Chain A
Amino acid sequence: MRDGLLDPRAVLLHESAADRDAAIRRCGQALVDVGAVAPSYVEAMLERERTISTYVGEGVAIPHGTAASKEDVERDAICVVRFPGGVDWDGEPVTLCVGIAAAGDGHVPLLAALADILLDPDRARTLREATEVSQVIKELS
């Protein structure tokens, strides 16, 4: 994984959200808070989700903005936000969101690494049940 994509401050492990949109807003805010995106990017993330679900399986969704919102991206970054109570994602239970801010394709190797982890049931469980920021950083490095 490329250095600097995942700021430890963008790893939030004990969040809760009433619904899918609230979860996406939480992810978007995490990306805003580390200076990766402008606040308007959050609306673009919601818009993208309405167009096509970012649920990828294994209880994980990867919300991100539309192609048109790339100008709201200051730098490529991801956030990892865990919802231990689960979020109803159009009928699928989601406990982990990996929010993505990408102007180029610097995040693609990271997504590939994430997918590899999720394809391994043991590592997927470790990530979904992580309680320490260091565990998440270690799994994704």
Chain B
Amino acid sequence: MAQRTVVVASASGLHARPAKLFVQAAVKVGVPVTIRAGEKSVPAKSMLGVLSLGAVHGTEVTLEADGPGADEALDTLAALLSRDLDAEEALDG
């Protein structure tokens, strides 16, 4: 089981727009990834699951995946969480 632990960097936490971008990316990596905050673990491609974590700016989350492509998938998603996706709003909005 490959793992990455990252701190949510987006100013508004992992909901709304940052959550949407994360979920879209999780679908795209093509490897089942789970995201865990505290005791709670949910599929990374479930918007409702990700929202239910209630992760705010600074919350530590752990990404987990298995099998071929797991490391690349986790690197991609961990990098996304490490960026302030709210601050990038003006760039792609």
Binding site for B on A (CB under 8 A): 48, 51-54, 56-58, 62, 64, 66-68, 100, 102, 105, 108-109, 111-112, 114-116, 118-119
Contacts and interface: CB of A to CB of B under 8 A. Distances in A.
Interface of B: 11-13, 15-17, 20-21, 46-57, 86, 89, 93
Given A48-B17, A112-B54, A105 B12 contact: yes
A53 B15 contact: no
A114 B57 CA distance: 19
Given A54-B16, A67-B86, A67-B89, A111 B56 contact: no
Contacts, number: 58
Given A67-B11, A67-B12, A67-B89, A115 B52 contact: yes
A102 B57 CA distance: 14
Give the 10 A-B residue pairs with the shortest CB-CB distance, closest first.
A112-B54, A115-B52, A115-B51, A115-B48, A105-B56, A51-B93, A56-B47, A116-B52, A67-B86, A118-B48
A111 B56 CA distance: 11
Query: For A51, A111, A115, A119, which residue has the most chain B Cβ atoms within 10 angstroms?
Result: A115
Given A52-B20, A67-B86, A108 B54 contact: yes
Given A52-B21, A108-B56, 5 more contacts: A66-B89, A111-B54, A112-B54, A115-B51, A119-B49
A79 to B, nearest CB: 16
Contacts of B93: 51, 66
A86 B70 CA distance: 40
A114 B17 contact: no
Contacts of A68: 89
A2 to B, nearest CB: 12
Nearest to B48: A115
